[in-house]
């Protein structure tokens, strides 16, 4: 941020007054700013402050993280600790006001488990929870499985942020976590992804094949040389061959051909299973690519 008067980049934030101030000329650029972080306090004899009252603004919480919290110190007598724990339990119940908050809280807890299984960051989890609140406000979640809704929104968010997560992978994580049938989850994900992207007015870009190569090449145990060969193979594919094929399928072809070019043993079955593509389609496409290369 630069000062609009003197164009100096020396701008500081005053947390006490909630202002952004230019150090050079003293101009108050912004005022009455809210601090999004947690409230902090220091107990008697404590030098460092700790977040005891709230966790700060957090989209992944049903109450946006604005509900009051408190910790129970082990230095207190047992009777006092028991009394404070009972108060803590009552406070947690008071944060859930009605059935709507309760259902939202349960869904966000399930979302936290899914994001952990899929190794997704907290930023992605916050964006998924924001999309869930929007589709819930439009009453698009009524009568639908919460697990399928979450899976579809995770896929939508990953597509928007160009994160290489496949629909097969997300459906498998949901099926394993909640004991559901993978094929049923996958059908629901495809159907709900189209519905949510239309209702929310989102244009879902395709994740690039290079992103899939960068993700699955280490997972298959390939060397850096094989990964580089895969990227080069992807760029060398003819436009007539690439047109109409999904990026994940092109990444599978490039990975298999790149591994063979580097002299590393890699089977079609392993590549197809890891990336979630059909082995027969992959085999025929690889044979076609080899035919094109041999003619050239």
Fold assignment, 209-295: Cyclin A; domain 1 (1.10.472)
DSSP at 5: T
The yes or no reply on domain 1-35 and CATH 2.60.120.10 is no
pTM summary value: 0.74
1-35 and 99-199: identical CATH topology: no
Q: What is the pLDDT of residue 17?
A: 65
Q: What is the pLDDT of residue 51?
A: 46
Pairing of strands 19-22, 11-14: antiparallel
99-199 CATH choice from 3.30.450.40, 3.40.720.10, 3.40.960.10, 1.10.472.10: 1.10.472.10
DSSP for 27-45?
Answer: -EEE-S----S---B--TT
Q: Is the pLDDT of residue 65 over 80?
A: no
Burial class (CB in 10 A: 0-12, 13-18, 19+), 113: middle
Tell me the C-alpha distance between 222 and 18, whole Å.
52
pLDDT tens profile 199-257 = 999 999 989 999 999 989 988 999 999 999 999 999 988 888 888 899 999 999 999 99
Nearest to 204 by CA among 192, 218, 221: 192
pLDDT tens profile 274-289 = 998 999 999 999 998 8
Q: Where are the domains of the chain?
A: 1-35, 50-95, 99-199, 209-295
Q: What is the pLDDT of residue 37?
A: 55
DSSP for 204-258?
Answer: -PPPPHHHHHHHHHHHTT--HHHHHHHHHHHHHS-HHHHTT--HHHHHHHHHHHH
Nearest to 126 by CA among 202, 188, 56: 56
pLDDT tens profile 74-84 = 888 889 889 98
pLDDT tens profile 127-160 = 999 999 999 999 999 889 999 999 999 999 999 9
Tell me the C-alpha distance between 206 and 248, whole Å.
10
């Amino acid at each position: 941020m630069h000062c609009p008067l003197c164009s100096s980049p020396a701008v500081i934030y005053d947390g006490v007054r909630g202002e952004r101030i230019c150090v050079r000329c003293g101009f108050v650029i912004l005022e009455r700013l809210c601090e999004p972080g947690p409230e902090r306090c220091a107990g008697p004899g404590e030098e460092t402050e700790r977040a005891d009252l709230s966790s700060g603004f957090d989209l992944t919480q049903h109450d946006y993280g604005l509900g009051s919290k408190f910790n129970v110190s082990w230095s207190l007598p047992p009777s006092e600790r028991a009394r404070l724990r009972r108060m803590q339990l009552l406070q947690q119940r008071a944060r859930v006001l009605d059935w709507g908050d309760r259902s939202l809280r349960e869904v966000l807890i399930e979302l936290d488990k899914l994001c952990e299984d899929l190794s997704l960051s907290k930023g992605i989890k916050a964006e998924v929870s924001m999309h869930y609140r929007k589709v819930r406000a439009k009453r698009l979640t009524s009568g639908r499985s919460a697990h399928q809704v979450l899976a579809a929104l995770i896929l939508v968010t990953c597509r928007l942020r160009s994160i290489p997560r496949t629909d097969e992978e997300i459906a498998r994580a949901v099926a394993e976590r909640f004991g559901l049938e993978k094929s049923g989850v996958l059908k629901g994900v495809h159907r709900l992804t189209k519905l949510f992207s239309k209702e929310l007015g989102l244009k879902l870009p395709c994740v690039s094949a290079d992103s899939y190569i960068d993700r699955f090449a280490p997972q298959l145990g390939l060397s850096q040389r094989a990964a580089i060969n895969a990227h080069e193979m992807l760029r060398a594919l003819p436009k007539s061959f690439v047109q109409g094929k999904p990026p994940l399928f092109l990444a599978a072809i490039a990975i298999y051909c790149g591994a063979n070019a580097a002299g590393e043993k890699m089977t079609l079955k392993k590549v197809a299973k890891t990336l979630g593509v059909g082995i027969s389609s992959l085999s025929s496409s690889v044979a076609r690519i080899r035919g094109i290369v041999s003619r050239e």
